[in-house]
Structure 1
């Protein structure tokens, strides 16, 4: 006789369960059981109710999906939200953001800004996010305390940055942090050469060698604007992606963020190398940077994930809203109403993000054995009725205010829209204080 399984820690009984893998499936009247932080059971409700469980939660009118994966952002920049709006990318960066960073960014800024971003993301149903910002050690401490999951990329630029005087110093810090956190259950360290126009061939070579040695991801802004591509052709005689290919940076480890400019040659390089593309539609729209041809990439077999970018250029960290924008934009860009349907859009915001970060065995879908990173969306409101396809309602008719609960590794971080580990009034007060401080000095 097989011994009876240990009781479940928690049994969830939603109206709909959307596992994402297999694709396009909606399970009705099913339950999901969690044990030791992992998904231990998915099956019909009648079967679920026969299992022993320490806690059973009925979730009527709710849809359970994998936690959302925000595949690109700059968490601490939430403290610069709305600081320099309605400007093109290079003006925004060179005249406003870089000077503000030089003046304000220190460990306290990164601590408070990252906390603000983490809280906003938890309330938006995000269970895992990719970050690329200064003082990554501080950011990783905030993630550790919060219970959220993250990939933290070490920013590498040719010029001095807050916390690192040289690219070599940034790389050294990155290697050390990678070593310190390599067994962390929720944090992965990646390397983040900022962009082709801010990192030399020599420094990109160093990144490639280190990433190969440590088997770490490379997270990089690539082909964000037409100007960047044109500049590279003038300077190097090749497009940025071709340059990265020549330097050996393309491959399943590369997360190419933005990619608004894609030629046939670029597409071939992405496909051959199995690199991932991170699509940030709202930031690209706001900075008028261009449109990533998502449907073309998807049909060619490229893994496309979605990210919010930082709150300074979006201006929110709302991945559900971002995914809706991505789905609508994909149709306009492809000239086809069937491009990026709702089910694929949800996959882009979950499993594809996990895959881009090399976490697809652990998160991104609701499957037995995977980490219990789960979000519950409340679809019982007026604006969601009537419901023919709950995934369609989620993507096209639902805002992040419908996020009700969030679990990461089986731990509940959001309970009935309330943060369980963070003090929201305190976060608010801290952000307001920073705003006063910065606006007092910002013209």
Structure 2
């Protein structure tokens, strides 16, 4: 049988079934999807491929799903480090946004983030930021899968004047993009402290009507949770906490909150490195998993992380969970890898499309070279990926069968042109904060 691509790999880690490692297998891609996974000898006998890749030192895993980002904010990387969340936002990030955020900012920041993510094995991201139409356009242009949030916030910004216009523009964008194969458009109300009840009620109703997820920061810091009514209680009362709800951060949780959240079928996106850097608190990940909650993994924005490195995030998530639980078996390597792949797909409502290397799913694939000295000796490929590798070991990435990173070279972005644009933004953005207010 004639097929598009045959990838022969030393290891294939399909994620489904859990903890399975296939050795000396081939992955068959045809028309953007995974047609077959079988032993290499059988693949050579059964298929004739237009393109063949021999990755004898590599592990193939599903492309990583970065389940919470603000990709355009990559242009703010390192600009206001080592500050508490509200100081960071109110005195630095928001003034910069008021002055500089426009379509060009979002376009170039998105390109920078996409380049970084593809180089690190990420094939899908779930974003929340202004000018989502620009983010979607760049994602389509560069061939990466994206959930582009329909942002909602009470106050005016460069993109909209208030809740009514956010909703109007968001629904128009959803209609425009609903047939794009790489793009989904969840609702993205910013946070309980920036969105009032009426817009949230409207989002809850429309999300149910349109079958769209809702992506929102929830219980991000101690100060947010300690001021009056607990945010989760309010969101439950407004009817938002359903199987379509994606709660990002979720620190400061009580036992009863975990139990009730688990019963709702809603999802959590854990952002360990951003939470650590901003001293926001700890998500009790193992308790949430034990309760049956689907927990995915995100980097947050590069302005508060300061990278979009899902391999690094996996390692931090596994290590932090052990410390928080005081249990060395908490969030083992296979669980961390699942959080970065299939759990992310489930949270975004696209696990029928991506998140595991399964026949019929999209060929969203990351190839990791495990031959380097720092990954030797190798006893278990899953453990080695989570605890020993870095994003610099990623050599190749496919999204829907398209080879977006080939032997560490991006195929859809010009890095030199991108660096020139980023340098121009750096010159603009490094003006003293005092000049912005």
TM range, normalised to the smaller chain?
Answer: over 0.9
Is 1:45 paired with 2:40? yes
Gaps of 5+ in 2: none
The alpha-carbon deviation at position 433 of structure 1 amounts to 1.1
Superposition TM-score, scaled by structure 2 size: 0.98
- Answer yes or no: is 1:181 the counterpart of 2:172: no
Is 1:438 paired with 2:434? no
Shift of 1:245: 0.6
Measure the CA separation in 2 of the matches of 1:146 and 1:22: 31
Number of the residue aligned with 2:375: 384
User: Mapping of 1:129-278 within 5 angstroms?
Assistant: 129-231=125-227, 234=228, 238-278=229-269
Give the CA deviation at 1:293: 0.6
Residue pairs, 1:5-404, within 5 angstroms: 5=1, 7-50=2-45, 51-231=47-227, 234=228, 238-404=229-395
Q: What's the C-alpha RMSD, in Å, of the aligned pairs?
A: 0.8
* DSSP-derived class of the 1:29 partner: strand
Whole-angstrom CA distance in 2 between matches of 1:254 and 1:173: 21
The question of whether the paired residues in 1 share the 8 Å contact of 2:92 and 2:433 is answered with: no
Give how far 1:442 is off. 3.6
SS at match of 2:247: strand
Distance 1:69 1:312 in 2: 19
The alpha carbon displacement at 1:265 in A equals 2.0
Other structure's SS at 1:383 match? helix
1:245–1:269 CA contact under 8 A, matched in 2: no
Please tell me whether the aligned partners of residues 268 and 293 of structure 2 are also in contact (alpha carbons under 8 angstroms). yes
- How is 1:416-427 mapped onto 2 (pairs within 5 angstroms)? 416-427=407-418
* Secondary structure of 1:11 counterpart: strand
State how many pairs are aligned: 433
Cα deviation, residue 438, structure 1 = 1.0
CA contact (8 A) 2:72 2:106 kept: yes
Q: Is the 8 A contact 1:280 1:308 kept in 2?
A: yes
Please identify runs of 4+ aligned residues in structure 1 that moved more than 6 A: none
Q: Distance in 1 between matches of 2:90 and 2:335?
A: 37
TM-score by length of 1: 0.97
- In 2, the alpha carbon distance for the partners of 1:437 and 1:161 equals 20
SS in 2 for 1:440: coil
How many angstroms apart in 2 are the aligned matches of 1:226 and 1:154?
Answer: 27
1:250-277, Cα deviation, whole Å (9 max, x unpaired)? 1111110000111122112211110000
Mapped partners of 1:228, 1:205: distance in 2 = 21
CA deviation after TM superposition for structure 1 residue 74, in Å: 0.1
Q: CA deviation at 1:441?
A: 4.6
